[in-house]
Amino acid sequence: KPEFEVLDKDAINHKIARHMGRKMVVVGACIETDAHTVGIDAIMNMKGFNGHKGLESYHEIHAVNMGAQVDSEALVARAIEIKADVILVSQVVTQKNIHLDNLTRLSDLLEAEGLRQQIILIVGGPRISHELAKELGYDAGFGPGCHAENVASFAIEEWIRRNAL
């Protein structure tokens, strides 16, 4: 797993306000043929999952959940339109490892747009590891048992690290 301190919702909101001075903009989706929204909804939606509220409930985060079967080009276009700080992708493991091609393609699209270093790219799913995510060009990967506070804590820490220069 990526190394960072998991903060509670109030601490995350405070840290975003103090360091960014504006809301963090996060866009999330299940890409390409992936129709399994349970994971992205658990992280993004207001109600969250298992007592852990989703990013929509964080006062200092503007969360946009694009849902399922979103083309990578559409996700990148939306990220550009709303000036996203973070892109979240939820992917289940697919037949013939198509999810690996999908995830690589998204990272490559961001690179081609010259945005890869500007946007924090995070992937999650039942068989996603941090190591796999890094191999595919992502900043972090989260597997089962992670909640919105894990993702938000990583995102603000990574944003601070990138903008401390």
Among the listed residues 70, 41, 71, 72, the one whose alpha carbon sits nearest the alpha carbon of residue 56: 41
Radius of gyration of the chain (CA): 14
47 is catalytic: yes
Does the CA dihedral 163-77-59-12 come out positive or negative? negative
Spatial CB neighbours of 118, under 8 Å, sequence gap ≥ 6 = none
Which parts of the chain are beta strand (E)? 24-30, 61-65, 86-90, 120-124, 140-142
Could you say which of 9, 15, 23, 47 is catalytic? 47
User: Which residues have a catalytic role annotated?
Assistant: 47
